[in-house]
């Protein structure tokens, strides 16, 4: 089979590799789509190395259908559409026992220690099946939409960490894929007003299409003034930082009301340092949370939201590339074009 093999920073090679052999307690999935994540770019640039030992097949936003089932596996049949939560917890460490399996001390991850979805086939190992990390879809959704369960699940977890309540004013900094998911989740939670900060361009218009009530270009408009106008000067109830720019953390603190909730959702660029006015946390009694990955319960919630149509992922897939065009797919994401880019081994030559 063909796979895109990461050989080290700056090197991604299409290569013929052995099709995985499936054991009695494993499943083989034919990959229908793997959407490109910003983390994939960080891996390719050499900015993220933990868990990656080249040569490795990366890609963790993956969906497809079952083509082979080990004799001891129950609950999955050939032909079933599936997606997988990439973080495989041990279920027995300190964090797993306390409901923080996303922080598992012995985690293995698809696209890291486990060969990922930038390939024609992917083996689901026994540990993933035993932990309940493979999910069958109730509807035969297009694979590229099913692949978006993974990034949506992280947003579901993020909003559980900093919950949106009915009538809240929610400020979302950034209208990339993550910001667009957060808009929809905030509306589902009953937000009264959703304000989005996004410079002019296609993503600014998309924020409105996905339901944002107010969209502000911070490069030409006064964002604090806009927030003040819609909160009687108090500040937003919830602020979600969806862009990894360090200075935005302090901006978020300033734009939240007293007692407000701030979620630093995005990983920050560079070394991740942000200079903040800590007295804003102290005197304004801010609730500041971080978030990484998601749990299996969040993944299942995200899957059901997509299946039900309550979260629109169809409009988020803007580009589709065959596996042999993966470099162009990566360049499309790196250049900021579109929203979500899907690598689909089964489609014919050419992209749309």
Distance of CA 90 to the CA centre of its chain: 22
From the list 51, 144, 67, 132, the residue with the least C-alpha distance to 96 is: 132
From the list 104, 207, 86, the residue with the least C-alpha distance to 147 is: 86
Specify the CATH superfamily of domain 154-290: NAD(P)-binding Rossmann-like Domain (3.40.50.720)
| Angle separating helix axes 38-45 and 326-334, nearest 10 degrees | 100
Nearby residues of 115 by Cβ (< 8 Å), 6 or more positions away:
3, 20, 56, 57, 122, 123
Task: Say what the alpha-carbon torsion angle 223, 224, 230, 236 is, to the nearest 10 degrees.
Answer: 110
Confidence (pTM): 0.95
Q: What are phi and psi of 287, to 5 degrees?
A: -105, 105
Tokens of 311: 């979260």
Report how far residue 281's alpha carbon sits from residue 299's, in angstroms, rounded to the nearest whole number: 31
Q: What is the pLDDT of residues 243-297, one digit of tens each?
A: 999 999 999 999 999 999 999 999 887 788 999 999 999 999 999 999 899 999 9
From the list 34, 28, 41, 120, the residue with the least C-alpha distance to 67 is: 28
Helix/strand/coil percent split, the chain, to 5: 30, 25, 45
Residue 347 carries which DSSP code? S
Instruction: Give me the chain's average pLDDT, please.
Output: 95
Report how far residue 110's alpha carbon sits from residue 135's, in angstroms, rounded to the nearest whole number: 14
pLDDT at 11: 92
For the chain, the domains span: 2-148+313-343, 154-290
Q: What is the pLDDT of residues 116-168, one digit of tens each?
A: 999 999 999 999 999 999 999 987 899 999 999 999 999 999 999 999 999 99
Q: Which residue has the tokens 């990390």?
A: 133
Q: What percent of the chain has pLDDT over 70?
A: 99
For residue 266, give the 3-state DSSP assignment.
Answer: coil
Specify the CATH superfamily of domain 2-148+313-343: Medium-chain alcohol dehydrogenases, catalytic domain (3.90.180.10)
């Amino acid at each position: 089979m063909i796979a895109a093999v990461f050989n080290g920073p700056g090197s991604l090679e299409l290569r013929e590799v052995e099709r995985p052999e499936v054991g009695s307690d494993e499943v083989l999935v034919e990959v229908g789509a793997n959407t490109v994540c910003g983390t994939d770019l960080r891996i390719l640039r050499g900015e993220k190395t933990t868990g990656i030992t080249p040569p490795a097949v990366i890609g963790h936003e993956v969906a497809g259908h079952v083509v082979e089932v080990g004799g001891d596996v129950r609950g999955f049949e050939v032909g079933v559409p599936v997606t997988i939560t990439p973080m495989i917890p041990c279920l027995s460490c300190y964090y797993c026992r306390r409901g923080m399996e996303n922080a598992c001390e012995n985690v293995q991850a698809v696209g890291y220690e486990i060969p990922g979805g930038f390939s024609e086939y992917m083996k689901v190992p026994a540990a993933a099946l035993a932990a309940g990390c493979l999910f069958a879809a109730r509807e035969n959704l297009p694979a590229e939409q099913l692949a978006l369960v993974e990034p949506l699940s992280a947003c579901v977890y993020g909003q559980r960490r900093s919950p949106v309540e009915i009538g809240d004013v929610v400020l979302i900094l950034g209208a990339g894929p993550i910001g667009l998911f957060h808009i929809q989740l905030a509306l589902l939670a009953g937000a009264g007003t959703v304000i989005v900060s996004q410079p002019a361009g296609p993503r600014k218009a998309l924020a409105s299409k996905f339901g944002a009530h107010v969209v502000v270009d911070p490069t030409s408009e006064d964002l604090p003034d806009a927030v003040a106008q819609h909160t009687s000067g108090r500040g937003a109830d919830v602020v979600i930082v969806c862009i990894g720019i360090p200075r935005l953390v302090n901006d978020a603190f300033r734009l939240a009301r007293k007692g407000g909730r701030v979620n630093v959702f995005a990983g920050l660029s560079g070394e991740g340092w942000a200079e903040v006015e800590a007295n804003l946390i102290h005197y304004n009694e801010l609730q500041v949370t971080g978030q990484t990955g998601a749990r299996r319960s969040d993944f299942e919630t995200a899957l059901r939201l997509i299946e039900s149509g309550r979260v629109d992922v169809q409009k988020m897939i803007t580009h589709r590339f065959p596996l042999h065009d993966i470099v162009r797919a990566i360049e499309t994401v790196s250049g900021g074009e579109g929203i979500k880019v899907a690598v689909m081994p089964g489609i014919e030559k050419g992209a749309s």
